Amino acid sequence: MQIGVVGCNGRVGKLVIEELISDNWDEHGLKLAGGLSRDSTNKDTNFFITDDEDELFEKSDVIIDFTLPEGTRNHVELAVKHKKTLIIGTTGLTQEDKTAIKTAAQETVIICSSNMSVGVNLLLSLVEQAAARLGTDWDIEIFESHHKYKVDAPSGTAIAIGKAAATGRGNSLTSLEDYNRHGHIGAREKGKIGFSVARGGDVVGEHTTFFYGEGERLELTHIATNRSLFAKGALRAAIWSEGKEAGLYSMRDVLDL
């Protein structure tokens, strides 16, 4: 299976390249087809690199995308054009982007997840179960912390956690979400799911879901200490995608959660 990496000079893109060059994935049949970079003039690499998107898509069986929403929009169109599997780890996607991805998935395999970590996706399952069993007498608050360069807030992972909690309660997040924690906001409304955000330093990613009950509190936490876990999760998704029918999948599908 030939893997192409768009945004190969990005934070996670570099890690995907490193994983594939390391030969750690040879036993799974994964090979690096090459990378896409806006600046491919630097040829001081030991792998194929291009600034021609069509060229990379043609050479690859699977494309891994940890870029920005504007890049991902184009990559979705190319995945349909070339009928190639696309694995999306991009965050900050709009509802319009998500609708376009869902439409494109009618033509090819797309695996889209705000977080490719195995641990985070297990956390989503646990949060959904806890929310379902504890009920609305327990207040839910989601806290997340990331490095100072992260541009979207709350993180895509925090929102995914909120959606899991809302699903556990048989509802949609849009009807329960509460981002307002400034000024005289009054007492907490029963059933709402609150969000808190911190940004600073080089934090890879921390997410905690608090379930506040009377006289007790449950905390479910995931802490990422190395971004390589996102690259490894994406490559695990690539292996799982082989032979799948066109459709939109998530890491929870990959992990059978």
Distances (CA, A) of 47 to 3, 102, 148, 218: 12, 32, 31, 48
Choosing from 14, 31, 147, 150, the catalytic residue is 150
Residue owning tokens 């709350």: 154
Report how far residue 251's alpha carbon sits from residue 120's, in angstroms, rounded to the nearest whole number.
10
Give the number of other Cβ atoms within 10 Å of residue 222's Cβ: 21
Q: What are phi and psi of 208, to 5 degrees?
A: -130, 130
Choosing from 75, 146, 207, 222, the catalytic residue is 146
Side-chain-facing half-sphere of 171: CA atoms under 13 Å: 16
207 included as an active-site residue = no
Give the number of other Cβ atoms within 10 Å of residue 14's Cβ: 17
In the chain the beta strands, taken as DSSP E runs, fall at 2-6, 31-36, 49-50, 62-65, 85-88, 109-112, 139-146, 177-178, 193-199, 205-212, 217-224, 247-249
150 included as an active-site residue = yes
Residues 6+ apart with CB under 8 A from 105: 246, 247, 248
Residue owning tokens 């690259």: 231
Catalytic positions, please?
A: 146, 150
